[in-house]
Structure 1
Amino acid sequence: MNKDNYLKVVVAEDEYMVLMGIKEMVEELGHEIIGEATNGKKAVEITLKEKPDLLIIDINMPVLDGIDAIKKINELYPMPSIVVTGYYNKELIDRAKKAGAFSYLVKPIDEKDLQPAIEMASARFEEFLSLRKELQETQAAFEARKYIEKAKGILMDKYNIKESQAMKTLQKKSRNNNKKLVVTAKEIIKADKLLQIDE
């Protein structure tokens, strides 16, 4: 097993023999078990405490079912998870996906099924993180654009200049102060508000 692919794993399963079987297979694949739980509530507690690289959890868990456990975990610590089910049920699998599961396994679990499920969950999670980052950057760019446009408007009114000249003034001020354009724009907006109060 490539050290880069080594994962710290939490397993949550209420059937002892199945739990032991999953643990053994995970370890045989070169990963480390850092926590185990026999009910959904405990799975949430252990996962949030240990912060593993992967959670393998049965859907039908006592106290709190596996899907609700994944949902709770992902609200606080998004991470890849694999749901385990006794039989294929499209409705349950769809619910699990919505909660944030990235792969699923149907019992009895086989090592040849576990390996691709782990790889799929990890790959989908990386994809999810990449998309989330892209979305956050797009949102940040959109927010920055709003501040820059507002600051340009203030400069155009104040100095009776055209938009292109206002942008050049903003860029020059940003360079001179060694600050990001959006930071300079916010400062101009703030200064303008203070002037309006003083008036």
Structure 2
Amino acid sequence: MSERLGIILVDDQPERAEMVCRRLRAAGYRLLAHLNSAAGLLPQVDRHRPDMVLIDIESPDRDILESLSFINRHHPTPVAMFSARGDADFITSAVQAGVSAYMAEGLSPERVAPAIEIAMAQFRSYQQLRQSLERTQRQLHERKTIERAKGLLMAKKRLDEEAAHRTLRNLAMNSNASMLDVAEQIINHLQSQP
């Protein structure tokens, strides 16, 4: 698995970064980029589309969290952050920005592989939860829209609930459209009528 993972490393200590880079390569990871600061992280993530971002910065700040938030929204990527900064508020902000694994100790070459595995597992778990939530929200939206269309059909066309549902279903089948599409069309059409 490690042979195929592309990593971007952000580390502001050159000696440690060199040791970590050697360890990554020896373990079969592809080192896509090494940055001395988070300043160039966004364009590097956009360019390389890494499988993982490892960050070890002595004093991470709000700028890095904003960058990670942007990455999390536009290019969801597992992120492992190592920092001596262990205050609860910052850790919470880091996790909300998209950090998959936060270690309140510096990165050492020996901890690279376990950190990557933890971050990948956390990221996959979070993505599954996010997809499940999005699916549930879509289903809820669809159900509400169909119920609203049925309600309008019942009020404007004086149909009972079963007849309104049958009308929606028949319109969907006859037009080869989804119930949601038909419901939205009915809502738009009937709301525009007096």
Whether TM exceeds 0.5 here: the answer is yes
- Does 2:14 align with 1:41? no
Aligned residues: 192
Aligned partners of 1:72, 1:190: CA distance in 2, in Å?
35
Aligned partners of 1:64, 1:41: CA distance in 2, in Å?
12
> How has the CA–CA distance of structure 1 residues 66 and 60 changed in structure 2, closer, same or farther, with 3 Å as cutoff?
farther
Could you list the runs of 5+ residues in structure 2 that have no partner in the other structure?
none
Aligned partners of 1:16, 1:171: CA distance in 2, in Å?
65
Report Cα offsets for 1:23-60 as digits up to 9, x if no partner.
Answer: 11112221101111111112233123322110001233
Structure 2: which amino acid aligns with 1:41? A
- Does 2:118 align with 1:120? yes
2:86 equivalent in structure 1: 89
CA RMSD in angstroms, aligned pairs only: 2.4
- Does 2:113 align with 1:110? no
2:29 equivalent in structure 1: 31
Report the secondary structure of 2:82's partner residue.
Answer: strand
Which deviates the most, 71-80 or 180-189? 71-80
Give percent identity, aligned residues only. 27
Report the secondary structure of 1:55's partner residue.
Answer: strand
Deviation at residue 118 of structure 1 after TM alignment: 0.7
2:134 equivalent in structure 1: 136
Deviation at residue 175 of structure 1 after TM alignment: 1.3
Deviation at residue 135 of structure 1 after TM alignment: 1.3
Normalising by the residue count of structure 2, what TM-score does the alignment of the two structures yield?
A: 0.86
Report the secondary structure of 2:148's partner residue.
Answer: helix
1:1-199 counterparts in 2 under 5 A?
2=1, 6-60=4-58, 66-85=64-83, 87=84, 89-91=86-88, 92-105=90-103, 106-107=105-106, 109-111=108-110, 113-196=111-194
Deviation at residue 63 of structure 1 after TM alignment: 9.0
Q: Are the aligned partners of 1:60 and 1:66 in contact in 2 as well (CA < 8 Å)? A: no
> How has the CA–CA distance of structure 1 residues 145 and 109 changed in structure 2, closer, same or farther, with 3 Å as cutoff?
same
Aligned partners of 1:125, 1:28: CA distance in 2, in Å?
24
